[in-house]
Amino acid sequence: MKIYSSDGKKLINAEYDDIIEVNDMLDGMKVLSVQSNSPEEYAVFLLEANTKVTCYIFDEVFIIGKGDSFDTLVDAITAWSNDEI
């Protein structure tokens, strides 16, 4: 398990080839799932403290999108799959 932090725009102290994995921690939230639609771009789904789900979309170490407060992981993945985030 790795622990990552971001400044809202990119991962801090991370290498370009670092890939976040399930059960890692990012900004104090546990990673529930990681989905990819291209070699460089991937979505990370995180469990908030209030049991909602947040999604960060990454291009390498840069955060290019964010969606938060989904009720379930399925809702968050569906929104990302439909380009709603």
Cross-strand partners of 56: 44, 66
Structure tokens belonging to residue 40? 């460089």
Q: Give me the mean pLDDT over the 53-80 stretch.
A: 93
Give, in degrees to the nearest 5, the angle at Cα 73 between 43 and 56: 25
Q: If you search the block for the tokens 């964010």, which residue do you land on?
A: 66
pTM, to two decimals: 0.90
Burial category of 40 from C-beta neighbours within 10 Å (exposed 0-12, middle 13-18, buried 19 and up): exposed
Q: What is the pLDDT of residue 37?
A: 80
Q: Mean pLDDT over all residues of the chain?
A: 92
